[in-house]
């Protein structure tokens, strides 16, 4: 398909188009596509549900929409095709009494996007459960499998961010048949009694609904920035000026600072700009009301510049920028 509008394929609802568009539903199509790409040297982008990407302009190339489906359960192992919806997988695992994903309830996007970002929420990261990630290298046509160590997971990081030529096809997870709630995150009430994973899921969904914004109501990609990791030297310096600084221990030399706290400290929570703004509910969420990306990028740069000047910290984008 040529000159396809991407408005309904990205949660910011930017109305850009791509020169060519194809949906992949099976391995055979994927291998054939890889061969065509190598022969034609076509520029391409892989797209899941578009909930963690910022498209910056019309794309002069091919957008590949991942529609690979299918989930296999074997004891406590789960193999999921990458095109499955993430939260549907979470619900299905809980119904089958497989535990671990419940704190990751409500995260938008596809299963294939989960290892790329190493999605995480409320004290849990998806990498805790990944055995391996299967991919097809579109530049070579080879099937490549990455074990846990080879995925090089970090905070909202993985090897897959560095190699956009890897089309993630399948992920194998190991879950638990014994329910053990993780209630360590500060947003989860301390005095609550939990009897089941379903209760944890309900609590997580309630917190998300109270703090975050449904992209169908106000276009957004969730958290626009990562929580920055800073040195202990900089932390000590900042604490002399800001005793209420919100931070978390990483190791003896590094600490993670709340990006939401930083944005609130520069007075930009609820800030309104041209056709976009910072959410009043959560300062990490930038909402968009424009057809194009210029305004929200200008706003994000303003936030980054103000924080750099005030705190000597550089915020990094959490979503992937596509251009």
CB count in 10 Å sphere of residue 196: 14
| Length of the chain measured in residues | 323
d(CA 153, CA 119): 10
Query: Per DSSP, which regions of the chain are E strands?
Result: 2-5, 17-24, 44-47, 53-55, 59-66, 71-74, 77-81, 120-121, 124-125, 130-137, 142-147, 166-174, 229-231, 247-251, 254-257, 272-273, 276-278, 286-288, 320-322
28 included as an active-site residue:
no
Considering the candidates 127, 156, 201, 279, report the single residue annotated as catalytic: 156
300 included as an active-site residue:
no
d(CA 216, CA 198): 25
Tell which residue, 79, 89, 155, 146, has the closest CA to residue 117: 155
Produce one character per residue of 167-182: b if its CB has 16 or more CB atoms within 10 Å, e if not: bbbbbbbebeeebebb
- Give the dihedral sign, CA 257/109/159/37: negative
> Is residue 141 packed enough to be buried (19+ CB in 10 Å), middle (13-18) or exposed (0-12)?
middle
223 included as an active-site residue:
yes
d(CA 65, CA 184): 37
> Hey, which residues does 121 pair with through a beta bridge?
124
Considering the candidates 223, 279, 293, 300, report the single residue annotated as catalytic: 223
What DSSP designation does 221 have? -
Which of the residues are catalytic?
156, 223, 318
């Amino acid at each position: 398909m040529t000159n396809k509008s991407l408005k309904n394929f990205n949660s910011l609802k930017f109305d850009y188009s791509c020169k060519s568009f194809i949906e992949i539903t099976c391995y055979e199509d994927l291998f054939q596509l890889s061969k065509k790409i190598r022969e034609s040297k076509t520029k391409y982008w892989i797209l899941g549900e578009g909930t963690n990407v910022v498209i910056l302009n019309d794309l002069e190339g091919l957008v590949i929409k991942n529609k690979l489906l299918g989930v296999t359960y074997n004891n406590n192992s789960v193999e999921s095709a990458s095109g499955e919806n993430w939260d549907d997988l979470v619900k299905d695992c809980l119904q089958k009494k497989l535990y671990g994903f419940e704190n990751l309830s409500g995260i938008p996007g596809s299963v294939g996007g989960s290892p790329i970002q190493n999605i995480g929420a409320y004290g849990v990261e998806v990498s805790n459960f990944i055995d391996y990630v299967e991919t097809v290298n579109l530049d070579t046509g080879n099937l490549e499998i990455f074990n846990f160590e080879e995925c090089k997971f970090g905070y909202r990081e993985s090897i897959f961010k560095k190699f956009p030529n890897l089309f993630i096809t399948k992920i194998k997870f190991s879950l638990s048949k014994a329910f053990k709630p993780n209630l360590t995150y500060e947003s989860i009430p301390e005095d609550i009694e939990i009897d089941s994973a379903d209760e944890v899921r309900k609590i997580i969904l309630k917190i998300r609904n109270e703090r975050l914004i449904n992209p169908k109501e106000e276009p957004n990609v969730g958290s626009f920035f990562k929580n920055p990791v800073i040195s202990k030297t900089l932390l000590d310096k900042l604490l002399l000026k800001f005793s209420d600084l919100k931070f978390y221990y990483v190791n003896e030399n590094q600490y993670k600072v709340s990006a939401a706290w930083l944005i609130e400290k520069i007075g930009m929570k609820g800030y309104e700009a041209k056709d976009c703004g910072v959410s009043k509910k959560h300062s990490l969420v930038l909402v968009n009301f424009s057809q194009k990306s210029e305004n929200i990028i200008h706003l994000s740069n303003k936030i980054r510049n103000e924080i750099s000047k005030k705190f000597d910290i550089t915020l990094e984008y959490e979503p992937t920028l596509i251009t």
